A = this chain, B = another copy of it.
Amino acid sequence: MTDIAAIEAAAQRMAGHVRETPLLNAPLLDRAFGRRIFVKAECLQVTGSFKARGGWSAVSALSEAARKRGVIAYSSGNHAQGVAYAAAAHASPCVILMPSDAPQVKIANTRSYGAEVVLYDRATTDRDALGADLSAKRGLTLIKPFDDPMVIAGQGTVGLELSRQTVAAGITKAEVFVCCGGGGLASGIALALEHHAPGLTVRTAEPEGFDDMARSLTSGKHEKNARISGSICDAILTPTPGKLTFPILQRLAGTGAVVTDDQALQAVALAFTHLRIVLEPGGAAALAAALFTPDLPDTVVAVATGGNVDPEVFRTALKRFG
């Protein structure tokens, strides 16, 4: 199980290799939306997303022998880059399974970090089975994207930083929106905030049609999405909440928020104009929730999780909402 000690140990292991990202805000954005909006800019993280934290945490926790055999991960792109970055730094061989419809920039970057990329068809292949098979054959350690205690601990370091940064900004009470796929980041942050900033409440943010976590938090059981692809928020499309992450969020998170693809694209454009950061649509879901969810409190925080976006998608966001 991941606890606050595991998160603090992960922070120790990643010091000097993973960046403390800034907590940004913009007076003109606050004024336009009538509340204080703070953005934790994980798009500025090494590899362009928070996934470098979980990847580093997991790879750095392996035994010397396991690191030498290598690691394997499956990912639509950001976890791939996080694990590839960490593996390269630990001189650990790295195989990444990626869906063939992942953004080209993520596939190219993952290869650039030195990983061997294996593409698969998202509709016809069981990536868990494929990963387990390759892992067994080559003696690789499978690093799951969210349902792994060391990955959750790594993502939780975002919460450690947030708890310090919100104190420095004079924030004692806020809703903290977190882009949510399987819930690794949201659950890690929730654990850190429970310990260090109990006035801050995590709320998951998901794309319309892929709101398995929001529905699961309401029903109390693992709900599934009807589709497995079809949102522009490619980074956070997962079929159902994680086995480890869901109980943590059941205990600690507020109601899940749901945003449309257009709201995510609008958040991408607003982050461009007011914060001068580059977000991918899935990485802007939390900001979209912090802007467009009804009945929000005076102060909201959005974790902007990633910025690995194809230029064409970004140009569309600017053309439509810039």
Among B22, B276, B319, contact of A315 (Cβ-Cβ < 8 Å): B319
Would you call A73 an interface residue if the criterion is a C-beta within 8 Å of the partner chain's C-beta atoms? no
Query: Which segment, of A24-32, A90-98, A222-230, faces chain B?
Result: A24-32
Among B109, B278, B319, contact of A277 (Cβ-Cβ < 8 Å): B278
* B-chain residues with CB within 8 Å of residue A27 when the two chains form the complex: 46, 85, 113
Among B31, B41, B109, B112, contact of A112 (Cβ-Cβ < 8 Å): B31
Q: How far is the CB of A302 from chain B (nearest CB, A)?
A: 16
* B-chain residues with CB within 8 Å of residue A120 when the two chains form the complex: none
Q: How far is the CB of A88 from chain B (nearest CB, A)?
A: 8
Which A residues from 147 to 205 make CB contacts under 8 A with B?
Answer: none
* B-chain residues with CB within 8 Å of residue A314 when the two chains form the complex: 272, 318, 322
Q: How far is the CA of A113 from the CA of B21 in the complex (A)?
A: 26
Would you call A44 an interface residue if the criterion is a C-beta within 8 Å of the partner chain's C-beta atoms? yes
Q: How far is the CA of A269 from the CA of B54 in the complex (A)?
A: 28
Decide if the interface of chain A is mainly helix, strand, loop or mixed: helix
Contact A311 B307 (CB under 8 A): no
Contact B44 A276 (CB under 8 A): yes
Would you call A48 an interface residue if the criterion is a C-beta within 8 Å of the partner chain's C-beta atoms? yes
Among B113, B279, B311, B318, contact of A269 (Cβ-Cβ < 8 Å): B311
How many residues on chain A are close to B (CB under 8 Å)?
34
Knowing A311-B318, A315-B318 are in contact, say whether A44-B112 is a contact too (CB < 8 A).
no
Q: How far is the CA of A109 from the CA of B276 in the complex (A)?
A: 14
Q: How far is the CA of A28 from the CA of B48 in the complex (A)?
A: 11
Would you call A105 an interface residue if the criterion is a C-beta within 8 Å of the partner chain's C-beta atoms? yes
Q: How far is the CA of A318 from the CA of B273 in the complex (A)?
A: 16
Contact A273 B105 (CB under 8 A): yes
Would you call A87 an interface residue if the criterion is a C-beta within 8 Å of the partner chain's C-beta atoms? no
The closest CB in chain B to the CB of A31 belongs to B112
Q: How far is the CA of A276 from the CA of B276 in the complex (A)?
A: 9
Would you call A19 an interface residue if the criterion is a C-beta within 8 Å of the partner chain's C-beta atoms? yes
Contact B273 A276 (CB under 8 A): no
Q: How far is the CA of A308 from the CA of B26 in the complex (A)?
A: 13
Q: How far is the CB of A40 from chain B (nearest CB, A)?
A: 13
Which A residues from 264 to 308 make CB contacts under 8 A with B?
Answer: 269, 272-273, 275-279, 307-308
Q: A27-B113, A28-B112, A43-B276 are in contact. List 4 more A-B contacts (CB 8 A).
A: A21-B22, A28-B109, A105-B273, A315-B319
